């Protein structure tokens, strides 16, 4: 746990240093970097949502296939039972 906290502090320090130097470089650059950061984070969040939707659809399709196989098997079993009752 100490390492994770240390890494988080290092990343936070580097981010603050980068943003501070960026603002010193040109005050208006920070106004360009923040929207870019928001767009990148938004795109990553959108990608996570798309992956979750794809997994949900795949699971639903698998469920539909299993239910269809069960229904076909039940119908075939019912058909075989009714034929066996007629022939005996």
Domain boundaries, the chain: 2-87
Are 33 and 20 within 8 A, CB to CB? Answer: no
Write the pLDDT tens digit of every residue in 21-75: 666 666 677 677 788 888 888 999 999 999 999 999 999 999 999 999 999 999 9
pLDDT value of residue 15: 77
| Residue bearing tokens 């603050």 | 16
Are 36 and 22 within 8 A, CB to CB? Answer: no
pLDDT value of residue 32: 77
**In this structure, what are the phi and psi dihedrals at residue 52, rounded to the nearest 5 degrees?**
-65, -40
For the entire predicted model, the pTM comes to 0.52
pLDDT value of residue 73: 93
Are 33 and 22 within 8 A, CB to CB? Answer: yes
pLDDT value of residue 12: 82
């Amino acid at each position: 746990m100490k390492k994770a906290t240390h890494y988080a502090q290092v990343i936070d320090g580097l981010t603050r240093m980068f943003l501070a130097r960026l603002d010193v470089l040109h005050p208006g650059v920070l106004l360009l970097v923040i929207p870019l950061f928001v767009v990148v984070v938004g795109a990553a969040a959108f990608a996570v949502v798309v992956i979750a939707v794809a997994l949900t659809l795949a699971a639903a399709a698998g469920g539909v296939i299993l239910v269809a196989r069960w229904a076909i098997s039940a119908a075939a079993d019912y058909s075989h039972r009714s034929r066996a009752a007629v022939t005996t």
